Amino acid sequence: MEAKPETTPERAAFYDRMDGHNLTPLWEVLRGLITPEPTSDCETAVWHYDDIRPYIMESGGLITAKEAERRVLILENPGLRGQSKITTSLYAGLQLILPGEVAPAHRHTQSALRFVVEGEGAYTAVDGEKTIMREGDFVITPSWTWHDHGNESDKPMVWLDGLDIPIAQLLDVSFVEGYGADEQMLTRPVGDALARYGSGLLPDGYEASSPTSPVFNYPYSRTRDALETMRRTEEWDPCHGLKMRYVNPVTGDFAMPTIGTFMQLLPKGFEAAPYRSTDATVFSVVEGTGRTMVGDTTLAWGPRDTFVVPSWQSYRHETDGDAVLFSFSDRPVQVKLGLWREQRGNR
């Protein structure tokens, strides 16, 4: 693209006259609108769980889950402070539920994921079914479904929330509604959705009414077993190790329509080849320690840490022992719009 045209006195006067009519010349801003490569204020960042856990727990003594409605500390990207964003298109935060608490039932148009970071025994109830949550579980709250959270265990529970709030804001489609009671009425037994839709079977005559997976808890125990079985073939992707995508078992598409979710196993001593893609990605460390090199920045990470890689930034992972990483991004949106792009290796 050629250099920006010169601003002459005649052109400047012309711009001033049209300004009152809410007009702007494209040639003055074109190079900032259509860039040779993606540009973003999103920055590489890491949140070490050991550093931020004291703040999470302190919040439990300052406000109840009911008063807060959702007691969450937002993970704000350092390049997007004040916008409640971890990437340009996604929100993330760490939610705390203390023993005996209930986060009241509500529903909203934004889709949400829960990835359990600490504890077990708390629950999420979604549209009449309760699921018990354990570390490493990936739980979905589909758009416009009633949901509440509670903790019937004797220890605090913390999970990572990921929502498409910025996408809903961009499209001006945000709605929220309270249920009118702390907890919704349960109409199905625990485990019903997984048994009904997640066992390689579907009810005869079932037709999907939502683009979101009807399975709303993908237990880590199943995911980890699958990864361990597949590692026996030693078919390691040079960039990702062994990386699997969570899917909707009815359609085979992404489990959520706006957020892609993944789990990957990186073996001991793995040194990944460079990789970049247009979907800025949030990682949550489940097991192991290692490093991720993003450009000239090195992020050291361990269990329960969260880190983010911006769009089109080259990165690679290195591990000390076996490591397992959960990740999410806006890839489904980009794929459906024909915009997603990746680059593998040094090119």
In this prediction, residue 202 carries a pLDDT of 92
Q: Is residue 22 part of a domain?
A: no
Contact by Cβ (8 Å): 298, 132: no
Sign of CA dihedral 57, 111, 140, 253: negative
For residue 345, name the pLDDT band (cuts at 50, 70, 90).
Answer: confident
Contact by Cβ (8 Å): 245, 252: no
Helix/strand/coil (H/E/C) assignment for every residue in 230-270: HHHHCCCECCCEEEEECECCCCCCECCCCCEEEEEEECCCC
For residue 347, name the pLDDT band (cuts at 50, 70, 90).
Answer: low
Q: For residue 263, what are the β-bridge partners?
A: 244, 326
> What is the residue type of 304?
R
Q: For residue 237, what are the β-bridge partners?
A: 241
CA angle 279, 291, 138 (to 5 degrees): 55
What is the tens place of the pLDDT at every residue in 72-125? 999 999 999 999 999 999 999 999 999 999 999 999 999 999 999 999 999 999
Q: Are strands 260-266 and 306-309 parallel, antiparallel or unpaired?
A: unpaired
How many domains is the chain partitioned into structurally?
A: 1
Q: Report residue 55: phi and psi, to 5°.
A: -70, -40
Contact by Cβ (8 Å): 102, 65: yes
Q: Is residue 38 part of a domain?
A: no
List the one residue out of 315, 326, 318, 245 whose CA is nearest residue 283.
326
Q: Is residue 36 part of a domain?
A: no
| 147 vs 133: CA distance, rounded Å | 14
Contact by Cβ (8 Å): 73, 93: yes
Q: How is residue 124 written in tokens?
A: 């999420």
Q: Is residue 255 part of a domain?
A: yes
Kindly report the CATH number assigned to the domain that includes residue 202.
2.60.120.10
Q: Is residue 99 part of a domain?
A: yes
For residue 216, name the pLDDT band (cuts at 50, 70, 90).
Answer: very high
346 pLDDT more than 80: no
Which domain does 175 fall in, by range? Answer: 45-344
Q: How is residue 297 written in tokens?
A: 């920045």
Q: How is residue 323 written in tokens?
A: 């490591």
Q: For residue 46, what are the β-bridge partners?
A: 307
- Segment (H or E) for 30: helix 30-33
Q: Is residue 28 part of a domain?
A: no
In this prediction, residue 328 carries a pLDDT of 98
Contact by Cβ (8 Å): 183, 105: yes
Total-model pTM: 0.96
Contact by Cβ (8 Å): 168, 174: yes
Q: How is residue 237 written in tokens?
A: 């992707």
Cβ partners under 8 Å of residue 284, min gap 6: 115, 117, 160, 304, 305, 306, 325, 326, 327
Stated length of the chain: 347
The CA dihedral of 97, 84, 332, 48, to the nearest 10 degrees, is -60
139 pLDDT more than 90: yes
